Amino acid sequence: MIVKLDTQKALVLFSGGQDSTTCLAWALERFEAVETVGFDYGQRHAVELEARPRVLAALRAGFPQWTAKLGQDHVLPLGVLKAIGGSALTDDMKIEMGEHGLPTSFVPGRNVLFLTAAAALAYRRGIAVLVGGMCETDYSGYPDCRNETIKTLEAALDLAMEAPFRIETPLMWLDKAETWALAEKLGGQALVDLIVEETVTCYHGERATRHDWGYGCGVCPACELRAKGYANYVSQ
């Protein structure tokens, strides 16, 4: 017996960063009801989790067309990733090129765990659509950001729960400049400003220095990508 899920409801994997905030706006434009889920996995940049309620409040206050659609927010603990460790996102390690041609910020299995936990929550909430900011264009070689990984996981989750999940990844083929442009298309300059002011992308979670593209240390790979993307976006 296949479970019935509502295809007009979406659950957005929402970290409080630029990409997932853009995905949230994308979902709010398309679906009747949208919920959000974040994961506490012992990330060193826990300032990211603090940004989540700020971004949600700013979206509710600044975008009346979306307010009624934006439903419950969930935070799930996934401390297993911290317990396993070995990544610069969970341990005190330098972010640099590591083994197997992957940066030390790689967390093995992270997106698979995130999407599996999100699907289990969506099952309970009657939600058919999962939305994630995975992106193959700037993916730093993370194999769990590839479209093929996501599509295969979607099929596995359907089978595992006998539920017709659909995983949407609106940023999959966009570069960072195009992600800024998508935010502008969805919510105008007001959404671009909200993303600059409130979202956190920096691997060190730095919020002391304000650049034209937002807050961050300015030198970690995540800041470099965000800065470069913003520069390309404003020059277009």
Structural contact between residues 186 and 26, judged by C-beta atoms closer than 8 angstroms: yes
- Least Cβ distance, residue 218 to Zn ion (angstroms): 6
Closest distance to Zn ion from the beta carbon of 11 (Å): 28
Question: Closest distance between Zn ion and the C-beta of residue 225, in Å?
Answer: 10
Residue 229 CB partners (closer than 8 Å, separation 6+):
138, 175, 176, 177, 179, 180, 213
Cβ atoms of 41 and 81 within 8 Å: the answer is yes
CA 225 remoteness from chain centre? 15
Instruction: Report in angstroms how near the CB of residue 221 gets to Zn ion at its nearest.
Output: 8
Specify the residue for token string 């007009």.
8
In the complex, minimum distance from the CB of residue 192 to Zn ion, in angstroms, rounded to a whole number = 20
Q: What does the block give as tokens for 187?
A: 């919510």
Question: What's at 124, amino acid-wise?
Answer: R
Cα within 13 Å of Cα(207), Cβ side: 13
Residue from 5, 2, 3 nearest 166 by CA? 5
Binding site for Zn ion (CB under 5 A): 202, 216-217, 220, 223
